[in-house]
Amino acid sequence: MPIIFDENKRIFTLHTRHTTYQMQVDKYGYLLHLYYGASIAGSMDYLLTYADRGFSGNPYVLGGDRTYSLDALPQEYPTLGTGDYRCYGLDIKNSDGSHCCSLHYSHYEIVRGKYSLQGLPAVWAREDEAETLRITLKDAAGGIEVCLLYGVLPKADIITRSAIIKNTGEARMKIEKAAGACLDFLFGDFDVIKFYGRHAMERTVERMDVCHGKMSFGSTRGASSHQFNPAVILAEKGTTEDLGGCYGMLFVYSGNFLCEVQRDQFDQTRILMGLNSDLFSYPLEKGEEFRVPEVILSYSKEGLTGLSHNYHHCIRDHVCTGRYAKDVRPVLINSWEAAYFDFNGETIVNLAREAAELGIDLVVMDDGWFGKRDDDNTSLGDWQVNEKKLGCSLGELIERVNGLGVKFGLWIEPEMVNEDSELYRAHPDWVLKIDGRAPIRARNQLLLDFSRAEVRNNIFEQICAVLDQGNVEYVKWDMNRSMADVYNGRVTYDYVLGVYDFAERLRTRYPDMLIEGCCGGGGRFDAGMLYYTPQIWCSDNTDAVNRLSIQYGTSFFYPTRAVGSHVSAVPNHQTGRVTSLCTRAVTAMAGTFGYELDPALLSKKEREEIKEQVKTYKKYEQLISHGDYYRLSKPTDACCGWMFVSADKGQALLNVVRTRLEGNMPAAYVKLKGLDETALYRENATGMTYRGSALMEAGFVLPMNMIEYAAYQMSFERVEE
């Protein structure tokens, strides 16, 4: 069984296919963490040590025993006010103003299936794929009850954690900090791997020593942010792509988050992931509950690649929902970099005509189709079609596009409003602002208060009235500024719940419509949004060379199928760099493929090349979307390579981009991964055959090519000898 409780030792053991997680209720009622890692048998309580630790406090109930201190023991859910001076997962401000919560074990329950969280996205599974453990802890003096939730997906090597906090007392209290998960390690030398960035340069990999003291990162921007992704890896020293132990934490949440890593005075390491305590102070009245967003945990003893595969499979199979969680995604062309705001109905029809000739499936009419929107300073909030600009109704435009054999998609930004809009003039009180203060502008727009039902209901009705006018098969949902003007301690959390409510209603009403998330590109690229929008625009930066780094960092947790990636025009609109169509396409095929350019400006040769690119992507779409992804080298290396391998190891697609060009260059060799070492593989372009072991141990030699940022894409098939 995945979840076992030893009544005698009061030890809970959670088993997945390759991992074990263990904790114990000790004789004082504290829930201590014992072990998480590769599969083991037996009880791990022998690892606990007790000693008189100077300046580490002791619970009063122990009397004169100075060898027991929560400041030195590993815990499942550490709280403020127990004598543990390390970073903590829960801070409760009681009705008397004190900050204290001491949780003791009450009872447990094991049920079939995976728990869900009302109003929040979470990992889902069939009843026969998962089990749930609920452990209830209580602070009798404070009137607090915390239900720790553990979801175990054995075959996926995934354990999820969450908590439900309930006020069982008589008076109002406040949650000042709440983590979704904590891991305590009694020993070990670790590196922490995080993913930092900025707008148009997201998810850059940074690996650092876990030194004594506390390191933290997170977001206070209202979205998970371009600056840090809500994902972290704790890797044993020396861990590589293929060897070593590593732990992952992925927060299923799209708002403010906090990750803390601390090595303490006794060389123990603690890592926490949860809600950011800044700008957060959530009141709970008598009887009310608060749900902490979920953290997805996984462990691999086979290096970073093994950990990535666990998360890729989990997101594809147990996070994304709806029709397009599994269905083939359309190859699309977006009007933004082709026309920006300067378009009309004929522009879109012509773009669709070009798309049809190139084999592209869908055309997207981006920003500028509503209100009086001819630039980015007006009309957000006025979601009525500008028929004068289009020269026809939306329904007529969609019919013309569909008549060419092309699907139609639309861009929206539902959370935003311009002051120059009819909506703002009618409801200036609907924006996030602090009483008596002017709101903070960004991109000359304000943020609608989606924590309020009447606000999001109005926007929902407006947008549905548009979508009902024709066969809209795709929507790109954008968010183009960060949150400011936080007027109370609950609005940051309630706002995200409002976004989720809007997303749930949208996908329920239009179950056959593909929704792509976007937040200035990758500013809300997280598992929470992927629950509702199975692909997210990876970055506003479409430069192929920069995308090597952005998509490399993204790949550690998120599958290719979740990554919006397109071929754009050159010189690139963000960097001015010129790269070949081949390089742009090979890079974009590490995601959901599409184009951001005007085909009418291309030469006949370029158009023919695009036709072949589209055919190539469609040929390998299933391999790219569902195959195992391997990072072969880093973007900072002379060659950046990655590959996809089918589940049966019968098919592989190798992709490489040269990042450096020098005179008299040496030959470049790329070692492949994931193949059957005993099998024979044919490289389809040349017909040459290679043993799998040779390709993985010695490598494949790249052709010499005197082209800057040259790209190579080679397919291999297993053949009979």
In whole angstroms, give the CA distance from residue 592 to residue 516.
10
CA nearest to 250, candidates 522, 527, 37, 492: 527
Helix (H) or strand (E) holding 397: helix 394-403
With H, G, I as helix, E, B as strand and everything else as coil, classify residue 463.
helix
Task: Provide the total of helices (H) and of strands (E) in the chain, helices listed first.
Answer: 13, 37
The answer to whether 307 and 233 are in contact (CB under 8 A) is yes
Q: Which amino acid is at 390?
A: L
Q: Which of 570, 599, 601 is nearest to 583 (CA)?
A: 570
- 338: three-class secondary structure by DSSP: helix
d(CA 602, CA 608): 10
d(CA 571, CA 53) in angstroms, rounded, equals 64
List C-alpha distances in Å: 329 to 81, 472, 531: 51, 15, 16
CA atoms within 13 A on the CB side of 321: 18
Q: Letter for the amino acid at 124? A: W
From CA 86, how far away is CA 190, in angstroms rounded?
A: 18
Residue 174, helix vs strand vs coil: strand
Distance between the two ends of the chain, CA-based, in angstroms?
Answer: 43
Chain-centroid distance, C-alpha 301? 23
- How distant, in Å, are the alpha carbons of 241, 245, 301, 313, 560 from that of 306? 8, 10, 8, 11, 15
The residues that are catalytic are 526, 606
